[in-house]
Amino acid sequence: MQQFIDKYNFAGKRAIVRVDFNVPLNEKFEITDDTRIRRAMPTLKKVLAEGGSLIIMSHLGRPKKVDPKFSLKHIVGRVSECLGVPVQFAPDCQKAKAQADALKPGEVLLLENLRYYAEEEGKPRGLAEDASDEEKKAAKAAVKASQKEFVKTLASYADCYINDAFGTAHRAHGSTALIAEYFPNDKMFGYLMEGEIKAIDNVLKNAQRPLTAIIGGSKVSSKLAVLKNLVGKVDNLIIGGGMGYTFIKAKGGKIGQSLHEDELIPDALEIMKEAAERGVNLSLSVATVCGQSFDNDTPRQIFPIDQIPDEWEGMDASPESLKNWREIIMKSKTILWNGPVGVFELPNFAKGTLQIAQDLADATAQGAYTLVGGGDSVAAVTQMGFADKVSYVSTGGGAMLEAIEGKILPGIAAIQD
Ligand code: AMP
């Protein structure tokens, strides 16, 4: 049964907390963005303030074996600074029992990267490329069997389990899902997870209407399930960025060299048909800022979205499209935004995406509920200094997308069961 962190008293308890400290590091192993560490602080500090002790666990990067580049020791100092107490380090997450048992109230132990072990993901490693199906099956069964011991060892360190790692909630890994069964009455979401779940519910379940989704990014294929789920829920669906050109081509427009996926034209047609049948306002770009090659200094020119000359490529939303979208956004009470409406990495083609960030901040000031997720959208909001001017900035890329596809995430289900 799920407990709520607010009601749980951690006095004298050892809490094992799955966080997402998968932070970017530079070549000197310095943290270049500590957002994920800071966002876990309310949960970690509550445990310490009540006289509990902490065993913190995370992955970092995608090591396939023990690799010092991906060691969590690089972040011990920063975690310690944020918590305001010293942080001990366990150099092997499977051999930390003695250190965990020795923790006194208020003390903190950070475990080494969980993904040094294949058991965390439960996927075999090091299989020969020409391995037979039999061999693959046997390797999978072996790692699944040893995964139980791996998870049991982690669970043996603590009295209660907190999952505060939304960024990995869409993975059924040892530390994100399987471990929960060892804490039937002492498992809970941390504050960050609770916030993320509520934010998604505010959009998908309890939205004030009109509800608008702005979906951008490169490809229809990567967000097809998102679009299909949202078209059944929203009042307005704004489709921008690279993925918009597949829709324009599906409608018979000329898109020049713009990014598109011919094989997804049937899906685009189906989404447009469903939107029409349901009375959903599906809004595409009307004109686009084009370039002649994919670089920042290429000449720029605006063309109608369906009349892009052969040698030009659509790279950002035009002022006219942005004006239409702003009108929709400012009339909305709930807005979800995921994905840039142009090539955000190139400053000359980032204006559209930055304008959407501005629109969301303005809509929020007017009382709308706004949820922003996905790398470029979050970067745009942050670059404008608007992270506090929208209602919620999600920490999960893939996890947020799967949640808005309507999937139940394993990390969430394991706590709620
Ligand atoms: P996603 O990861 O699906 O959210 O897509 C983000 C990527 O979409 C960014 O790298 C953008 O550069 C890219 N993108 C957005 N608009 C365009 C466009 N018109 N043409 C090419 N790439 C685009």
Question: What pTM was estimated for this model as a whole?
Answer: 0.93
Over 90: is that where the pLDDT of 126 sits?
no
Please indicate, yes or no, whether residues 311 and 397 belong to a single structural domain of this protein.
yes
Q: Last residue of some domain: 167, 189, 211?
A: 189
Mean pLDDT of the 329-338 span: 98
User: Is the beta carbon of 344 within 6 A of some atom in ligand 1?
Assistant: yes
Nearest CA to 59 among 141, 142, 144, 118? 118
Do 129 and 158 lie in one domain? The reply is yes
Mean pLDDT of 191-219: 96
C-beta of 222 in contact with ligand 1 (< 6 A): yes
Same domain, 174 and 201: no
Pocket mutation for ligand 1, best pick of 218, 257, 376 (most atoms within 8 Å of C-beta): 218
- pLDDT of 29-46, one tens digit each? 999 999 999 999 999 999
The two three-digit tokens of residue 15, written as one number: 């809490």
The pLDDT assigned to 26 comes to 95
Q: 223 and 159 share a domain?
A: no
Better-predicted residue by pLDDT, 386 or 397: 386
Is 163 in the same domain as 38? yes
Q: Are residues 201 and 154 in the same domain?
A: no
Active site residue 398: yes
Q: Residue 314: inside a domain, yes or no?
A: yes
On whether residue 42 sits in a domain, the answer given is yes
In a domain, 411, yes or no: no
159 CA → ligand 1 middle, Å: 45
Tell me the three state secondary structure of residue 89. strand
| Cα distance between residue 202 and residue 370, in whole Å | 9
- CA–CA dist 395, 96 (Å, integer): 29
Q: Are residues 150 and 206 both part of a single domain?
A: no
Among residues 75, 59, 94, the alpha carbon closest in space to that of 171 is found at: 59
Same domain (yes/no): 88, 224: no
pLDDT > 90: percent of the chain: 97
Which of 161, 189, 217 is at the close of a domain? 189
Angle, helices 76-83 vs 41-49, to 10°: value is 60
Please name the residue that has the structure tokens 């956004």: 329
Summarize the confidence of residues 102-129 as an average pLDDT.
Answer: 96
Domain range for 378: 197-404
Note whether residue 416 is domain-resident: no
Measured from the CB, is residue 301 less than 6 Å from ligand 1?
Answer: no
Same domain, 35 and 139: yes
> Do 229 and 96 have their domain in common?
no
pLDDT of residue 417: 80
Total number of domains in the chain: 2
Q: 346 — phi, psi (to 5°)? A: -100, 115
Q: What pLDDT shows up at residue 375?
A: 87
Strand partners, 254: 307
Rounded CA-CA distance 292/138 in Å is 52
DSSP conformation class of 207: P
CA of 417 to the centre of ligand 1 (A): 37
- Is there a catalytic annotation at residue 36? yes
Alpha carbon distance 417, 414 (integer Å) = 6
pLDDT at 211: 98
Residue 128 sits in a domain whose CATH number is: 3.40.50.1260
Evaluate: CB of 240 within 6 angstroms of ligand 1: no
Residue 18 among the catalytic residues: no
User: Tens digit of pLDDT for each residue in 251-292?
Assistant: 999 999 999 999 999 999 999 999 999 999 999 999 999 999
Identify the band that residue 1 occupies on the pLDDT scale cut at 50, 70 and 90: confident
Assigned domain for 414 exists? no
Are 181 and 203 within one domain?
Answer: no
**Cβ neighbours around 358 below 10 Å, total:** 17
Please report whether residue 165 resides in a domain: yes
Statement: residue 102 has pLDDT above 90: yes
The residue whose CA is least distant from atom 11 of ligand 1 is 343
| Confidence at residue 207, expressed as pLDDT on a 0 to 100 scale | 97
Cα(218) to centroid(ligand 1), Å: 4
Distance CA(56)–CA(109), nearest Å, equals 6
Q: How confident is the model at residue 168 (pLDDT cuts 50, 70, 90)?
A: very high
User: Which residue in 231, 222, 177 sits closest to 204, CA to CA?
Assistant: 231
Say if residue 241's pLDDT is above 90. yes
Let me know whether 328 and 363 are in one domain: yes
For ligand 1, say whether the CB of 314 is within 6 Å of any of its atoms: yes
Q: Which atom of ligand 1 is nearest to the CA of 314?
A: 19
Segment 121-136 shows an average pLDDT of: 92
Is the residue at 417 inside a domain?
no
How far are the Cα atoms of 1, 7, 185, 186 from residue 4, in angstroms, in the given order? 10, 5, 11, 9
Read off the pLDDT band of 303 (50, 70, 90).
very high
With a cut of 90, say whether residue 171 has pLDDT above it.
yes
Exposure of 316 by Cβ count < 10 A (0-12 exposed, 13-18 middle, 19+ buried)?
Answer: buried
pLDDT in tens, 64-91: 999 999 999 999 999 999 999 999 999 9
For the chain, give the number of residues: 417
| 315 located within any domain | yes
pLDDT, averaged across the chain:
96
Asked whether residue 342 carries a pLDDT value surpassing 90, the answer given is yes
Which residue has the least CA distance to atom 5 on ligand 1? Answer: 217
Domain boundary among 121, 154, 189: 189
Contact (CB, 8 A) for 374 and 222: no
Q: Is the pLDDT of residue 345 over 90?
A: yes
